């Protein structure tokens, strides 16, 4: 049985494969950041590259693949990128603010506990 | 006109989104898209206490987005490199403060989106009384460079896009 992907001409298969591999490498790198980096404020930067460049590579690959395969312009992936780029920054900011709030609060609480002990 | 279509750009965006979602240019989809483009902004208007943003210089906006895209790709490679090849202890992660001249809430929203989308920088908060932006930098080399980059490459074009009545240079002098 012939795979659908086999009907893709080589000049389209090449960039698609390249972009998929590149996107995969970037995604793995972003995930590795979560593992390797030591504190929270560093770890928050890891997934950012997955969301932007990693997702971008996959979406461009998808656009090329389906445009060539179906012989018509398939660009609704643009919507995905728009929505990702509109939501991901907000999430990053919320997580960041939550972390800052948590740190300030625990600092205040330890200070408070210290004062109580002195009394 | 303004009353029935408070934001033409938003309406056009909704129409475009509808056509892209349906992947078709048939008259029925155009009709539905135009309907959405007119009705949705009117219904959502009370949710926007500041009103819809008015983009005064679309070209400057596109230029800014294009430059940001280049910056995003560049920062991605930098951050990826640091994650793969450097030890966590050697990375100088710091908070820095950037004094802002930008006051427009839509402009600030755009600025925060661009900064957070760029890997390596995350917006923490605006310190209210001094109007300074608290920014977390993944690998800080030179604080002044970051402040200059944010102010020249991001803030000034955004002021130009949203507040074009006042030239960016005059505010600094005043």
Q: Which residue has the higher pLDDT, B168 or A72?
A: A72
User: Which residues does chain A have within 8 Å of residue B116's beta carbon, measured at their own beta carbons?
Assistant: 48, 88-90, 92-93
- The ipTM of this complex is 0.79
The closest CB to that of B136, out of A33, A36, A41, belongs to A41
* pLDDT for position B165: 56
B57 contact partners, CB below 8 Å, separation of at least 6? B160, B161, B164
Q: Do A49 and B79 touch (CB under 8 A)?
A: yes
What are the residue boundaries of the structural domains of chain B, listed by start? 8-47, 58-173
Q: Residue A6 is encoded by which pair of tokens?
A: 């086999």
Using the Cβ of B84 and the Cβ atoms of chain A, whether some distance falls under 8 Å is answered with yes
pLDDT at B3 over 80: no
pLDDT at B26 over 50: yes
Across residues B6-22, what is the average pLDDT?
88
pTM of the model: 0.82
Q: What is the pLDDT of residues B105-164, one digit of tens each?
A: 888 888 999 999 988 899 888 888 888 888 999 888 888 888 988 888 898 888 888 875
User: How many interface pairs between A and B have CB atoms less than 8 angstroms apart?
Assistant: 96
* pLDDT for position B171: 43
User: Which residues does chain B have within 8 Å of residue A74's beta carbon, measured at their own beta carbons?
Assistant: 23
Q: What is the pLDDT of residues A2-20, one digit of tens each?
A: 577 677 888 888 999 999 9
Place A59 in a pLDDT band, splitting at 50, 70 and 90: very high
């Amino acid at each position: 049985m012939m795979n659908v992907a086999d009907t893709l001409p080589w000049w389209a298969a090449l960039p698609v494969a390249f972009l998929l591999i590149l996107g995969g490498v970037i995604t793995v790198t972003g995930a590795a950041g979560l593992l390797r980096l030591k504190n929270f404020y560093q770890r928050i930067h890891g997934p950012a590259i997955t969301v932007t460049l990693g997702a971008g590579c996959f979406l461009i690959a998808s656009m090329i693949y389906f445009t060539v395969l179906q012989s018509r312009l398939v660009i609704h992936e643009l919507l995905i990128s728009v929505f990702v780029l509109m939501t991901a920054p907000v999430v990053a900011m919320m997580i960041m603010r939550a972390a800052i709030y948590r740190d300030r609060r625990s600092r205040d609480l330890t200070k408070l506990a210290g004062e109580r002990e002195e009394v | 006109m303004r009353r029935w279509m408070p934001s033409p750009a938003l309406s056009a965006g909704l129409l475009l989104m509808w056509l892209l979602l349906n992947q078709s240019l048939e008259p029925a989809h155009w009709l539905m898209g135009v309907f959405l483009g007119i009705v949705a902004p009117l219904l959502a208007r009370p949710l926007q206490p500041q009103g819809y943003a008015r983009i005064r210089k679309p070209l400057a906006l596109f230029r800014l987005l294009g430059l940001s895209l280049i910056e995003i790709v560049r920062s991605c490679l930098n951050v990826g490199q640091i994650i793969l090849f450097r030890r966590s202890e050697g990375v100088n992660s710091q908070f820095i403060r950037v004094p802002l001249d930008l006051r427009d809430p839509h402009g600030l929203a755009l600025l925060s989106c661009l900064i957070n989308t760029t890997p390596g920088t995350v917006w923490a908060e605006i310190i209210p009384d001094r109007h300074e932006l608290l920014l977390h930098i993944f690998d800080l080399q030179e604080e002044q460079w970051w402040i200059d980059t944010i102010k020249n490459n991001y803030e000034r074009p955004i002021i130009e896009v949203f507040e074009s009545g006042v030239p960016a240079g005059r505010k600094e002098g005043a």
